[in-house]
Structure 1
């Protein structure tokens, strides 16, 4: 696994480098602000970008937005001391693969391994906040939602609901009596229709629309 570390605190980048190299993770580069993260990402094409949020010149969120616009499949894991609500909302919207609090250093390597396998990882503190954050923006009562407006069928919208409930493909397969391969195909088609990147964004879509249905 090739990891790029970006943080404006030199002590933290050194500590992270030491922690990760113990687990045989290759550190391909180290940067210290968002603009440098963009340049290094393009030059090095790491498997994962591990990045702070609050940095001089350009924030990690702004860098993540730029990188993901140019590289939609980029795997970015944000590591910060701040569980700020606005940061979490923006991180989810941009499609980062994870958001961890720095104090929980023991979770970094497992999180990197999960992200490398295509999973989305949020720390326990962040996960607890997400449902409340998604309901801070109240839907317009005059704007009725209907899944067909997005080109979805009723079955596809129900499937999204199961994803939002946290069910795995295997659990969904057992519940609706379709093969895991069929579930994967359905989800891939749904993501394409909605122009979304992953299951996390799919769950956010469902939670935002179900109350307006």
Structure 2
């Protein structure tokens, strides 16, 4: 698994590089110091995962994430920060980042990178506990105008609960193929990109 580390603290970058390269399946391709570096390095290397700080001089990690995801819709970005800032969490979710963990949880960084690489969305426990409250505070949306069926609503709820297609199929007594079809319809109706955005949509608008 090839990754890039971007952090304006050279000591943090070097420490993370040493820690992560102790794992046989992780290779650090390059390190950068700000959002401009992140964009340039991503375009050059197309890593499996970009591990990036949020607060950086020149260009912050959220702005860089938005730029990268605009050009690479399948980019997997894991944000690493010292701050469990409410505004940062909302912006990270809306930007399409695949995870947001705190630097003090350094012992979970390797497993978080692996999870993101495998298509999962990762938020530290402290952050995960905040998400429903933060997103409920946003203006609610008239979801019936999106023509969602009762079954689609139920599937959205299960996605938000973290269930995969197989688990959803078992719970709703459907085939995995049918679940995939429902998910495709939901993404089209809501103009969303992936499961992460479906979960965020649920917490923001439907909970």
Return the TM-score normalized by structure 2. 0.93
Correspondence 1:194 to 2:190: yes
State the SS of the aligned residue for 2:3.
strand
- In structure 2, the partner of 1:103 is 104
Shift of 1:161: 1.8
Does residue 150 of the first structure (1) align with residue 150 of the second (2)? no
- Deviations 1:37-87 (CA, angstroms, capped at 9, x unpaired): 111111111111000000000000000011111111100000010110000
C-alpha separation in 1, matches of 2:19 and 2:54 = 20
Show structure 2 runs of 5+ residues with no match: none
Give the distance between the partners of 2:77 and 2:138, measured in 1 at CA: 26
Which of 175, 182, 198 is residue 179 of structure 1 equivalent to? 175
Instruction: Tell me how far 1:151 sits from its aligned partner.
Output: 4.3
Deviations 1:147-193 (A, max 9, x none): 3x224333212211222233332332122110123212321332233
Structure 2 distance, partners of 1:185, 1:18, is 43
CA distance in 2, matches of 1:146, 1:185: 20
Query: How many residues in Structure 1 have an aligned counterpart in Structure 2?
Result: 206
How well do the aligned residues superpose, as a CA RMSD in angstroms? Answer: 1.5
- Among 190, 193, 200, the alignment partner of 1:204 is 200
What is aligned with 1:17?
17
- 2:2 aligned with 1:6: no
The 2-side partners of 1:81 and 1:59 are apart by 14
Q: 1:135: how far off?
A: 1.5
- Of residues 183-192 and 56-65 in structure 1, the stretch that sits farther from structure 2 once superposed is 183-192
Contact 2:99–2:122 (CA under 8 A) maintained in structure 1: yes
Matched with 1:36 is 37
Q: Which residue of 2 aligns with 1:54?
A: 55
Match for residue 114 of structure 2?
113
